[in-house]
Amino acid sequence: MRPCRRFLASSAFLLICACGPAQLDTPPASIEGLWTTTDDPRYADRAFEITEEFLYLLQGGDTFSVYRIRGVRIDDRELPHYTIEYRGEEGIMSELRVFLTQEDGGTLLFPNQMQMKWQSDPDASVPWR
């Protein structure tokens, strides 16, 4: 009976690991790009860009920050949920979390602002280009 219990326990562990979030070194192409929103006028001068190596955050006007991406976790259970890990201010590990929908050819949503849609806008004016 013991070998059977060990087999079941090992199988359950492997199943849990297989169903967990995928871990990538770089963001997938589906979320790479320059993202803007027109859903709220307070964000008219805000944008962010996700590249293979960097996360750019436009905080308004010409003020922006650039962070090297350390990894990406993807959880595909319902709506694809991406967690971008980067080293933020003062070397503290930080995360940017977004959901990806297929609406309008691809829309990103922040978990705390699901009503605000961020669209890919490769022609947006940003100070780092």
Q: What is the token pair recorded at 46?
A: 């805000």
Query: What pLDDT, in 10s, does the model give residues 27-74?
Result: 999 999 999 999 999 999 999 999 999 999 999 999 999 999 999 999
Say if 81 falls within a structural domain.
Answer: yes
Q: Confidence band (pLDDT; 50, 70, 90) for 3?
A: low
The answer to pTM > 0.85 is no
Query: What pLDDT, in 10s, does the model give residues 70-96?
Result: 999 999 877 899 999 999 888 899 999
Say if 13 falls within a structural domain.
Answer: no
Give how many domains the chain has, as a whole number.
1
Say if 67 falls within a structural domain.
Answer: yes
Element counts in the chain: helices (H) and strands (E) = 1, 9
Task: Work out the angle at residue 33's Cα, subtended by the Cα atoms of residues 66 and 89, and round it to the nearest 5 degrees.
Answer: 20
Q: Which domain holds residue 54?
A: 21-120
Kindly state the average pLDDT of the residues 17-35.
Answer: 84
